Structure 1
Amino acid sequence: MFPIRDHNPSGRRPIVTLCLIGANVLIFVAYWLGLPSEEALGRFFMEFGLVPARISYGEGYWTFVSSMFLHGGWMHLLGNMLFLHIFGDNLEEEMGHLPYLGFYLLSGFGAAVLQYLAEPQSMVPMVGASGAIAGVMGGYLLLFPKARVDVFFFFVVFFRIIPIPAWIVLGIWFAIQLGSGWMTPADMGGVAYWAHVGGFVAGLAASVPLWLRRGGTGFWSRTHGAPPHPEAEYRMVRTSVPRVRRGGRGPWG
């Protein structure tokens, strides 16, 4: 199950979201193509990624910020940027450009703090924007719970794109992160589940004042739980691939 787009493109250009995507891509390309070896890349992550043990020893506090602009590979980068593109524009439109930037950085900081607290002596560097983006998803859940999100389902040979309310998509995603965090030791590397949980909770909490200023549940009533502008409709385009009918005999008889 993988979100690919929502039905609510923002009414104005999401300048900060586009700049964040651009910054993440440019930084990634600079070190991924510029460093000469895997060893150099490892040293780079140890220096600029968030290493909990360094924080415990009283150094590297600036990595709470630098780590959220680094990624461990192309798929890591592209997946995060897709999620930011899907959920960031509407939140930026509702919050305003500069408040949204502050919100994004605060969510990333909250994500890093919880990942640190999960295993303060870990020497595994944490990198990625997913904690900050999880905060964006938490804010989206509070403000636009009924916005439709197109989800790509794939199971063995079956696949389909299905529009699902945001509260279901994001609720399932958060439950998976929380469960995986409980079952996975924080110092094993891999996915930083507690960073996702921390970012999501931080973003949800940071969005509450705006939600209350908009009227709380009254805001949901006025907007029907979706961004306050016309919903986009996507049409499925017919493919040129010929359809094979069942029941016929194959060439091998």
Structure 2
Amino acid sequence: MDKSTSPIGLFDSGIGGTSIWKEIHSLLPGENTIYLADSKNAPYGQKTKEEIIALSCKNTEYLLEKNCKLIVVACNTATTNAIKELREKYDVPFIGIEPAIKPAAIHTKTNAIGILATKGTLSSELFNKTISGFTGINVVEQVGYNLVSLIEEGKLESDAIKELLQKYLAPMIEANVDYLVLGCSHYPYLVPQIKEILPPHVKIIDSGEAVAKQTKKVLEADSMLNVSGLKTETLFYTNANPAVLKEILGNKYTVEQKDF
């Protein structure tokens, strides 16, 4: 069965994965997409592995009901805790999102890199396996407590966010990091505030572009790229107040509130 015109599905513990969606939409404008913001259950980073797996399965099943041909787990916490189980359970390609540690570790000149992520990502088996491959590099890990909650509340420009970022980034500046890895799909929305705090030579990297490229690669390999030339459709669903999601998308797209 030709699935090429079927949509790409994405889910996240809220609005953050739209940073991934933007990269995919930019690289693959001919694809239909469905984005699921599980904001009612955000943040995932403070939940148990079992809870994260259960929520990821719930989101996946909703997207499969919508006939999605490929699912992007646009959440670091869900990827690092649940993607193995998702791949075993469902017969659909999954693209995960992991912190971009490798490019930072390869290119660092100071032998010190920072990573800002959720507790769920930093404590996961997959993250620790990845990081163990880079010996001799000082990796300054920091849990971004409360950042996701504040972003979900639409408080991107708040003093509370700025104060937390100053606190979280101070040990990284002290350690002379030259790369900061953003290990949560919500955090790219904090880049302007982060740049105000970090020294100008520190490079900030996230996984969005790499995820988009991998999505394209998998679709090509499975002959599922949409080459129909038909008008595309982008659907956004949230199970919480849609106002913040609408604002982050620039009010260009319709956001439907659904119970899932």
* Same fold (TM > 0.5): no
User: TM-score scaled by structure 1?
Assistant: 0.29
User: TM-score scaled by structure 2?
Assistant: 0.29
- Which structure carries more strand by proportion? 2
- Which structure carries more helix by proportion? 1
